[in-house]
């Protein structure tokens, strides 16, 4: 009988921890893995921007805070994680360059566009190898799932992810 | 709740149960009513009906009530086309385009109030 009751106790503890974990992950903070070198050198730095060969064989893991999702108020330079508009199962990490109402330049067609209401313009830090708003278009703010605040792994790279203000890629004239 | 889903959901308070499992399991399809975050304002949640899933073609009246001119588009990958049932007074995909599936949060499942319209929201 004591084996059954200890199994029941373990089961209760697992469910409680699971519920607390899911709540914290959905509403407060979570950890995400960074894949790819599109945010080099801030995240997953690369030695060669074109070939993408990485400095470290391990991916960075970052802390994602969800408090920003209460009012969807972001600042220029915030690094955010968002669901891809073309595949809802994928998530991307990029930096916010333009907020609703901003004018952004699209260099490959020598044009400017205004970021529509409720959307933002995101770009990776490594412009040579980044799938971002330059090809996906402005991203609805409702797709953002959190803001990246710190790198938590590997230990040598633990630190804040800084907010960097950068002008959007403007036409070269 | 605005008038965009008349007559299915009227202007007096309706209480409807929304379930999230179908969205997560991708079991939503054309004809379902869904709750989604508006692409025009992320703080607003709106209810619309899915008229086209990715890959399907949707034909809609450009100016309902004024002319019979139609336009046909194919819904791009990863997106859905949503419209309100009251096409004369609804801001939907005819205004802001097909929305990414990641903005869809729940499917309308069962109407609890008013009691005279109690019942399932499927095939309504």
Q: Residues in chain A, how many?
A: 173
Name the β-bridge partners of B71. B60
Least confident of A2-16, A77-91, B105-119: B105-119
Which residue ranges in chain B fall short of pLDDT 50?
A: none
In a domain, A71, yes or no: yes
In a domain, A23, yes or no: no
In a domain, A53, yes or no: yes
* Stronger pLDDT, A9 or B114, i.e. the higher one: A9
Domains observed in chain B: 15-116 (2.10.109.10)
> Given this model, what pLDDT does residue B113 score?
80
Structure confidence by residue, pLDDT tens digits, A18-74? 999 888 888 889 999 999 888 888 888 888 766 767 777 788 999 999 999 988 999
In a domain, A11, yes or no: no
> Given this model, what pLDDT does residue B77 score?
92
Size of interface A-B (CB pairs under 8 A): 50
**Do A168 and A77 touch, CB atoms closer than 8 A?**
no
Q: How many domains does chain A have?
A: 1
* 3-class secondary-structure state, position A67: helix
Structure confidence by residue, pLDDT tens digits, A95-143? 999 999 999 888 777 888 899 999 999 999 988 888 999 889 999 999 9
Q: Does B103 touch chain A (CB under 8 A)?
A: yes
In a domain, A3, yes or no: no
Q: What string of DSSP letters covers chain A?
A: -HHHHHHHHHHHHHHHHHHHHHHHHHHTEEEEE--SSTTTTTSS-BSSTTT--BSSSSPPEEEEE-GGGTTT---TT-EEEEE-SS-TT-EEEEEEEE-TT-EEEEGGGTEEEEPPTTEEEEE-SSGGG--SHHHH-SEEGGGEEEEEEEEEESGGG-EE-------------
Strand pairing report for A79-83 and A144-153: antiparallel
End-to-end CA distance of chain A: give it in Å, rounded: 81
> Given this model, what pLDDT does residue B43 score?
93
Inform me whether the pLDDT recorded for A166 exceeds 80.
Answer: no
In a domain, A95, yes or no: yes
Q: Does B82 touch chain A (CB under 8 A)?
A: no
> Given this model, what pLDDT does residue A168 score?
56
Q: Which of A38, A40, A130, A133 is flagged as catalytic?
A: A38
- Token readout for A20 is 């607390």
Q: Which residues in chain A are contacts of B38 at CB distance < 8 A?
A: 118, 142
**Do B38 and B46 touch, CB atoms closer than 8 A?**
yes
CATH number at residue A72: 2.10.109.10
Q: How confident is the model at residue A172 (pLDDT cuts 50, 70, 90)?
A: very low
Chosen from A81, A85, A96 to mutate, greatest number of chain B CBs within 10 A: A85
Task: Please say if B93 is a catalytic residue.
Answer: no
- Give the containing element (helix H, strand E) for A135: helix A133-136
| Candidates A72, A88, A116; nearest CB to B100 | A88
Angstroms from A55 CA to nearest CA on chain B: 33
Q: Which residues in chain A are contacts of B40 at CB distance < 8 A?
A: 116-118
Q: Which range of residues forms the domain containing residue A97? A: 32-160
In a domain, A10, yes or no: no
Q: Does B97 touch chain A (CB under 8 A)?
A: no
- Token readout for A122 is 């995101």
In a domain, A51, yes or no: yes
Cβ contact, residue pair A140, B78, below 8 Å = no
> Given this model, what pLDDT does residue A1 score?
66
Please state the rounded mean pLDDT for residues A143-171.
83
Q: pTM score, two decimals?
A: 0.86
> Given this model, what pLDDT does residue A9 score?
92
Angstroms from B26 CA to nearest CA on chain A: 10
């Amino acid at each position: 009988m004591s084996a059954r009751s200890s199994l029941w106790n373990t089961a209760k503890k697992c469910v409680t921890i699971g519920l607390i974990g899911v709540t914290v992950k959905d509403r407060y903070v979570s950890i995400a893995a960074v894949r790819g070198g599109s945010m080099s050198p801030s995240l997953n730095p690369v030695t060669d921007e074109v070939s993408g060969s990485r400095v470290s064989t391990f991916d960075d893991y970052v802390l994602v805070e969800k408090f920003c999702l209460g009012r969807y108020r972001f600042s220029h330079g915030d690094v955010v994680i968002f669901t891809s508009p073309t595949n809802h199962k994928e998530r991307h990490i990029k930096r916010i360059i333009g907020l609703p109402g901003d004018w952004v330049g699209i260099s490959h067609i020598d044009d400017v566009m205004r970021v529509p209401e409720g959307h933002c313009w995101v770009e990776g830090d490594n412009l040579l190898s980044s799938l971002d708003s330059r090809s996906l278009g402005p991203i609805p703010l409702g797709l953002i799932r959190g803001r990246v605040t710190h790198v938590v792994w590997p230990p040598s790279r633990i630190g804040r992810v800084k907010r960097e203000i950068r002008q959007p890629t403007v036409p070269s004239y | 709740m605005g008038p965009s889903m008349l007559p299915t959901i009227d202007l007096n308070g309706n209480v409807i149960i929304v379930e999230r499992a179908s969205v997560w399991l991708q079991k939503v399809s054309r004809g379902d009513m869904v709750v989604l975050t508006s692409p025009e304002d992320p703080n607003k949640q709106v209810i619309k009906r899915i008229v086209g899933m990715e890959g399907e073609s949707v034909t809609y009246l450009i100016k309902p009530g004024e002319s019979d001119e139609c336009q046909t588009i194919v819904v791009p990958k990863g997106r859905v086309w949503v419209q309100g049932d009251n096409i004369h007074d609804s801001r939907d995909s005819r205004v802001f385009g097909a929305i990414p599936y990641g903005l869809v949060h729940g499917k309308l499942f069962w109407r609890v109030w008013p009691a005279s319209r109690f019942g399932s929201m499927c095939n309504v």
